[in-house]
Amino acid sequence: MNESWTDRWNERFGKDEFAYGEQPNNYLKEQLQKLNAGTILFPAEGEGRNAVFAAGLGWTVSAFDISIEGKKKAFRLAEANKVTIDYQVGELQTLNYSAEQFDAIALIYAHFPADIKSSYHKTLDKYLRKGGLIIFEAFSKKHIDYISKNEKVGGPKDIAMLFSIEELKSDFANYEIIELIEKEIELNEGLFHNGQGSVIRFVGRKR
């Protein structure tokens, strides 16, 4: 990822207010509340709202992002909620996670650049134990139409960074599909996710 990508996120997360709010994503919250706590990884975790929520449920939480400003906000939120998270800054290939380290990996609006998104998914798969879960929510390719009507809903304007059901089936081919749907939802997450959007939701268990 180039410096302009990092600078963009540092600028967004460098403000005092939380860009996507302090509350967890609704789909993540719904899924985690069904599970017994274990070890979980949050890629592209930004300001920490989801990681902090998981830690509050008793999960042992790891997270990473390219933004140092995101990490600062995440630690601020963790301190306010009296929880601890491990948060690293860097690109995935520079980090020191171990094979089968995690019971779950939560990809919540983890829109990586188009040329690396599938390779990131396949690398993350190595860090998930057999029987572990991927929990995923991100914008679908149809979301481009929603952005054209309302930019406040947020999300990448590059269709190649958005997701299709077929892409997820390919990236996570060795998973039992518990849920995999594309649907329209109403978002109300902080400053940058507001209005109707089209998302893919996926829960899969690694075989």
Q: What is the pTM of this model?
A: 0.97
By percentage, how much of the chain surpasses pLDDT 70? 100
The pLDDT of residue 79:
98
The set of residues, in sequence order, having a beta carbon less than 8 Å from that of 185 and lying 6+ positions away, is 196, 197, 198, 199
The number of domains in the chain is: 1
The pLDDT of residue 5:
87
Using CA atoms, how far apart are residues 53 and 2, in angstroms rounded to an integer? 30
Residue 2 pLDDT grade (very low, low, confident, very high; cuts 50, 70, 90):
confident
Rg (CA), the chain: 16
Q: Averaged over 174-179, what is the pLDDT?
A: 98
Q: Averaged over 39-56, what is the pLDDT?
A: 98
The pLDDT of residue 108:
98
Question: Which of 63, 134, 138, 65 has its CA nearest to residue 103?
Answer: 134
Please count the other Cβ atoms lying within 10 Å of the Cβ belonging to residue 167.
16
- Can you spell out the DSSP letters for 106-145? EEES----TTTHHHHHHHHHHTEEEEEEEEEEEEBTTHHH
Domain of residue 125, residue span? 3-206
Which neighbouring-strand residues pair with 198? Answer: 184
Residue 1 pLDDT grade (very low, low, confident, very high; cuts 50, 70, 90):
low
Please report, for the domain that includes residue 194, its CATH number. 3.40.50.150
Q: Averaged over 159-165, what is the pLDDT?
A: 98
Q: Averaged over 198-202, what is the pLDDT?
A: 98
Please count the other Cβ atoms lying within 10 Å of the Cβ belonging to residue 152.
11
pLDDT tens by residue, 48-99: 999 999 999 999 999 999 999 999 999 999 999 999 999 999 999 999 999 9
Length reported for the chain: 207
